[in-house]
Amino acid sequence: MPLTFSLLARLPECVPLVAKWLFDEWGHERPGSSLELLTKDISSKLDTATLPVQVLALLEDLPVGVAILKAHEMKDVFPDRTPWLGSVVVAPAHRGHGIGAALTLEMEALAFARGFTRLYLQTEHQDGGLYARQGWQTCDRLQYRGYQANVMSKELGPVHGE
């Protein structure tokens, strides 16, 4: 069965799973955070008319990954840059099968469909990793909250065939 995508808002029962993925990946970086607080925060942001918008990757109708289109990230440094691709996580058992790449492309299409022509992200991978292979360009490198961040951007356009 092929990989499909759904707005998390359509599957709110998946919020606790998404919160766990995000907390397991980055929770240690946020002092005072907890899985419970993150779950409540995600649940309060399921309105798809505004950002953030969370998208699930589904394999045989089971959630295997998530990505979020956010209005801002690193707002204290880049207040005028919007929107951002963030929180791209694939469930550990499903990594290495192209799900992260597919999620990234889905989020690019979502951002373009919402009228955005450029998308930003930050990664700790200094070579850009997956994102560089998908045509993202480094626009800044800086020390940010204790790590070396690679800020990347990509010009968006219609998908072939549209």
Q: How many domains does the chain have?
A: 1
**In which domain, by residue range, is 109 found?**
3-121
Percentage of the chain modeled with pLDDT above 70: 97
Residue 162 lies in a domain: no
> What is the distance between the alpha carbons of residues 19 and 12, in angstroms, rounded to a whole number?
11
Q: Is the pLDDT of residue 2 over 50?
A: yes
* Predicted local confidence at residue 32, as pLDDT: 83
The pLDDT mean for the chain works out to: 94
Instruction: Report residue 161's pLDDT band, with 50, 70 and 90 as the boundaries.
Output: very low
Pairing of strands 62-70, 118-123: unpaired
Task: Indicate whether 158 belongs to any domain.
Answer: no
Element (H, E) at 69: strand 62-70
| Domain assignment of residue 159, yes or no | no
Q: Is residue 20 part of a domain?
A: yes
143 within domain boundaries: no
Question: For residue range 117-149, what is the model confidence (pLDDT) as tens digits?
Answer: 999 999 999 999 999 999 999 999 999 988 899
User: 22 pLDDT exceeds 80?
Assistant: yes
Stretch 5-14: mean pLDDT: 97
Residue 155 lies in a domain: no
In this structure, is residue 31 part of a structural domain? yes
For residue 110, the surrounding DSSP H or E stretch is helix 99-113
pLDDT digits (tens, 9 = 90+) for 23-55: 999 887 777 889 999 999 999 999 999 999 999
Does 133 fall in a domain? no
3-class SS at 116? coil
Q: Which CATH number does the domain housing residue 69 bear?
A: 3.40.630.30
